[in-house]
Amino acid sequence: MAGDESEPVIDAEPERHVLFRVGRALCALPMHEVRQVLSTARITLIPRLPEFVLGVTNLRGRVLPVVDLALRLGLESPETAKLRVVVVQHEEMMLGYRVSQVLGTIDYVPEDVIHTPQVAGGVSAEYLRGVIPDSRSAQADAPWREIVMLLDLEAMLAADRSELNRSGSLRGAIRLP
């Protein structure tokens, strides 16, 4: 039609995230910031670390802090045989987050993100980018779908860096930019 200047609809690219459990909570981190998942990691305890830091591990010659993500997020810290360490990197900072179980990946489009209230699932909104319904549990007759918390890695790492630097326990052992 003449004069119709409607813009073409452009579908947003799906974003891929690594999906995992922290206790009973379902969480996800951007795939491009996850370097690897460790099924086992020897963790060395270091005195005077913040409560949520389990210690450090050696990853191919690099000393890596390991954080209990459940404690970091204020969730119940599970004791299970399936514990894994998700190694993440944002800019120059790399560390490991201990999680209960790694489930795989999940794709979503940004329009699916529901911006979070002050607290979602017991997790402070400062560490969340939002939540999405878990598409893996979508069934025609299902009355509900589990919620996936999309974690804000940049905000978590900034807080972790600040607390690790304040403790001083790792000064000289690792570089925390």
Model confidence pLDDT, tens digit, residues 31-88? 999 999 998 778 898 888 888 899 999 999 988 999 999 988 888 876 766 789 999 9
Look at residue 26 and tell me whether its pLDDT is greater than 70: yes
What pTM was computed for the model?
0.80
Q: What CATH architecture does domain 15-136+146-167 belong to?
A: Beta Barrel (2.40)
Query: How far, CA to CA in Å, does 149 sit from each of 109, 140, 169?
Result: 14, 23, 31
pLDDT of residue 114: 86
pLDDT digits (tens, 9 = 90+) for 154-167: 988 888 888 777 76
- Torsion sign (Cα): 159, 175, 18, 111: positive
Q: What is the pLDDT of residue 31?
A: 95
> What average pLDDT does the segment 88-92 reach?
88
- Please give the pLDDT value at position 67: 92
pLDDT value for 69: 92
Task: Show me where the domains of the chain are located.
Answer: 15-136+146-167
